[in-house]
Amino acid sequence: MGTLDIIIALAKIFIIMLPGYIMKKMGLLTKQHAEGMSSLITNVTFPCLIIVSMQMEFSMEILNNCKYAIIIFSIIIAFTMLIARIASKKANLPPTQSGIFTFMLMFGNTGFIGFPVLSGLFGQEAVLYGALCDAVYNVFMFTIGIAIIKPGDEKRTKQEIIKQAVKESLNPCFFGLIIGLALFIGQVTLPDIIAGPLNSIGNITSPLAMIVIGSHLADMDFKELFRAKHAYIVCLLKLIVTPIIGLIFVKLIIGTGSLLASAIIIEAAMPVAMCSVIFSEQYKADVNFAVKGVMLTTVMCIITIPIFAILLQYI
């Protein structure tokens, strides 16, 4: 895929945000509508997309790649957490911002934006690797992630934290991944009467996800957003430093030039996860700071993702 093809493919994906943006501005798309679509994506269309993406001929190479995707993405998260902790101290952030700052740098929007981008650029096999990266995020997010946002919560025992982590990780997307892997390893090809509907449902994931993101952008005060100094630090570290870390470890462990390498690096280049806002509200962190981090990185990734996608063609 050439440079122009990459730019066009990504442009097509992000243009789908426009209906969500316009409809929200016109009052035709409410917050309740967006929440309903988000629930539909998370609980129905994503799992279907994951299962369908894994309906391919069995290959030990692909199975081995799954192992590397999990290992490398875990390393990326660990190093990002270390850098975020150092940056948080250097920036002298207050307690209500320091935890969510680290959380935002650790966890990206590997699902809502990651899946559509991978599918558009590289096809269905890349979605499989993206699903694995997203699964790794979920495991870390509901354990270390929540502890980082709310480190002073002495009422929560270790058992309660583990119980919540297990509960939150056992979501429809996770089960979709397990089902897809089982079918892939067992070389079970779904009959068309099942595969057809699953494919149709899975295919609406990307449009729905981008429309939801567009609706969130419509709520943004761009003047206030671009005056947020610390949000720029989040933007720099999340959209540039994190994928560079991913590039380094991919280069060291498996080398570049493969579909797996490209999928991992592109997933590492995703903007801040939208659940940062939800968790900051739930655990009494600075919600406004989280909103700015999510929205600024979502806007700026329209520029940075194509840069890394093009860079992958030359390394």
The token duo for 85 is 């902790």
Q: Provide the CATH number for the domain around residue 281.
A: 1.20.1530.20
Residue 156 predicted with pLDDT over 60: no
The token duo for 129 is 């690797």
Q: Are 111 and 104 in contact (CB under 8 A)?
A: no
Residue 49 CB burial class (10 angstroms; 0-12, 13-18, ≥19):
buried
For residue 187, give the 3-state DSSP assignment. coil
| Structural domain containing residue 219 | 3-311
Pick the closest to residue 187 from 46, 62, 48 (CA basis): 62
Query: Over the stretch 48-74, which tens digit does the pLDDT of each residue have?
Result: 887 887 787 777 887 888 888 889 989
Q: Round to whole Å and give the CA distance between 63 and 264.
A: 15
Q: Quick check: pTM over 0.85?
A: no
Query: Over the stretch 86-99, which tens digit does the pLDDT of each residue have?
Result: 988 888 888 778 88
Report the number of distinct structural domains present in the chain. Answer: 1
Residue 204 CB burial class (10 angstroms; 0-12, 13-18, ≥19):
middle
Cα-Cα-Cα-Cα dihedral sign, residues 170, 173, 133, 286: negative
Instruction: For residue 162, name the pLDDT band (cuts at 50, 70, 90).
Output: low
Q: Round to whole Å and give the CA distance between 173 and 189.
A: 20
Instruction: For residue 290, name the pLDDT band (cuts at 50, 70, 90).
Output: confident
Which carries the bigger pLDDT value, residue 291 or residue 18? 18
Query: Over the stretch 163-208, which tens digit does the pLDDT of each residue have?
Result: 665 666 677 877 887 888 888 888 899 999 999 999 999 888 778 8
Beta-bridge partners for 108 = 272
Mean pLDDT of the chain: 82
Q: How many CB atoms within 10 Å of residue 103?
A: 28
Q: Round to whole Å and give the CA distance between 276 and 138.
A: 13
Task: Give residue 154's pLDDT.
Answer: 46
